[in-house]
Every structure is written in C-alpha cells, then in structure tokens.
Structure 1
Amino acid sequence: MAKISVVNFQSLDGVVQSVLSADEDREGGFAHGGWVSAGMDEAVAEFMQGATLAAGGLLLGRKTYETFAATWAPADQSEPAVAAMNRIPKYVASRTLTSGSWNNTVVLGPDLVSAVREIPEELVVFGSAELLRTLLAHGVVDELHLLTFPLVLGSGKKMFGELSSPLPLQLEVSRTTPSGVTISSYSVG
C-alpha cells in the first residue's frame, strides 16, 4: 500500500465545513462559508502547491471531488498546480457515483479500504472529512498536515467527529505563517 497523506484546513475549533466559498456546504444551516480567505497568504499557497505537486494521486470523497472537478478541470492549465491536479489520477470514494467526469477519475467500489490498499500511487486526501474518518478507523493514514486558521467558528462539521479510540500522533514539524495560520505535520500511529 502506498503512503496516504491528508492535507486539511480547519478552524481553531476544528471546523472543516465550507472552507472555500459560502455556497460550498450549507448543511445544518452553516452560514460561515469561505472562512479561509482571511488567512490565505503566500506561505499557505506555497504549502498547498507543494502538496499538490508532490501527489501521485488524489483520494477524495464525492463532495470534495465534485467541488474540485468544477474548479480545477476548467482552470488555467499553464499553472503547475492546476496541470498536476488535472494530470494525476483521482480516486473517489462514493456510494452514489458510478463514474467521474474529470479526466483520470476512478470511482472506488463498496470495499473502500481494500481498494485503497491496492492503489500504487502515493495519495493525498484534501478535505473529505467523512472519508478521512473511515481511513483513520482502518489505520491507513500515514500523515496529517493540518492548516489551522486563527478563527473560532462555533459551529460546523468537525474534521474528526467521534473517533472510536484515541488517535496517537507524532508532531514532525510546525510553523506559523504571516497571517497566523499554523501548519502542523504529524505522523499517525
């Protein structure tokens, strides 16, 4: 099985819902969409570009996949991160999709964990909180890269939700960007 790294934005209180735009995910009446924009700076952008360029493939939940496909497929292909997003394989965990519209998309079957273990590329998971919890429960995540924004939202979907057991992490590196975003990288287990 290839290495699986997770890269996620979260608020200080662990909210991961609707990070990029107001209309991304209003489930539960969430009204704070697009909250990462205030903390985006060059250091965050560089980290995200590096994570994208290093990915051998993406592993995404359906909602994140649909958002990414709508954003990245039509974007300017002359940008290295955009070209990488469109070139690399996209593996989608979904109970409803049977095929994907974005090039190099593979929709994984119902035995998600077994399918993930067969993927040869090093994978990066962006967003996809429900998928993340499944992967963590089955012990297949190797690294967590958490970009914590200096903002408390007070409500919204949490990254970890309820875990069945504690999740031991080893801090590998942490730094703070000029806008106050803390980028912390952990090994899992």
Structure 2
Amino acid sequence: MSWWDVVTVTVGAFVGAGAAFASNLLVRLIESRRREASALNELITEIHFRRVLRRVAPRLSPNPRALDPVYEQARHSISAMRGEIRRARRALRPRSSALPVLNEMTLACNTFLDDSDDAPERYRLHLMQLHARLNASVRRLRSDRRSISDLEPGEAHLGATVQGLTAPTTALPVDD
C-alpha cells in the first residue's frame, strides 16, 4: 500500500464524516423549525378559540366583581393563556425571532391582568386592548413565517351542522 492510498483513504474518511455531521445538523435544524412552527400554530389556534377575546364594545361594567361573571372568567382565561404562551416559548429554538413576540404577548396578558385588577369596571376596554395587541403579535409571527396560521384572537365560530339536523330547544324532564 502506497502513501497515496493512505492519504486518499484518510481524506475520504474525513470528508465522509464531515458530510454525515453536516447532514445531521441540517436534519436537526429542519426538525427544530418544524417543531417551532407547530408550537406557534398551536398557540395561535388556542388564542383564536378563546371566547373571552371576541370583539365586544368596551362598555363600562359598574361592579364587575359582584355583578359580571365574565370578569372572573376573563381573568382566569387570560391567566391560563399565559401558560400556553410559556409552553410555546419552551418549544422555540434558543435564538428564535419569535421569542420577542411571545414575550410581548406575555407582557400584554400581564398588562391586562394588572389593569383589570386596578380598574375592574374597565375590564372590557382592557380586553379589547389585549385583543389588538395579540392580533398584532399574530400578524408579526405570520409575516416572518409562511407556515404560521393567520387566525384572529377570539374569532373562532362553529361550522354548519349536518343538513336537516337541528339543535334541541328544550330539555327533557328527568327520568325517575
């Protein structure tokens, strides 16, 4: 075996190992981007289905803590949504461009919770401000990535039912 054969085998081994390493990195990058897009889509869909974020007139509510059951539901829902944002943030790559957007979403939720606690009679106004901030965040996420859904917060609707099927209008008496 000549020195040329040794050099050829050695160089071939290094090139092969380098190609395997590079392809492994590429597969990991593609997989992490796919996982990130999936987490962001799941978050956006969750926000889209939050009924509390439906657009409403920002009317004052005189005594929401006592008279308005939606007040506590809204605060609970937004608090839970922060957890959804946190879960999505954990699925992102370390230097993802979506991180600042999710941080802004968390800040928007915190602002709603603080403002609605300080001025509960104006919680509907604060909800609509939160809706606008989240909508802007969804648009920013969508502008950077084509694989992200463009769904408005709180605006999910039920689809049509099977033709001819009607929803019941009265409850039947209890069977004894």
Between structures 1 and 2, the one with greater helix share: 2
Larger radius of gyration: 2
Q: State if a TM-score over 0.5 links the two structures.
A: no
Q: Kindly indicate which of the two structures has a greater share of residues assigned to strand.
A: 1
TM-score, with length taken from structure 2:
0.26
- Please give the TM-score of this superposition, normalised by the length of structure 1: 0.25
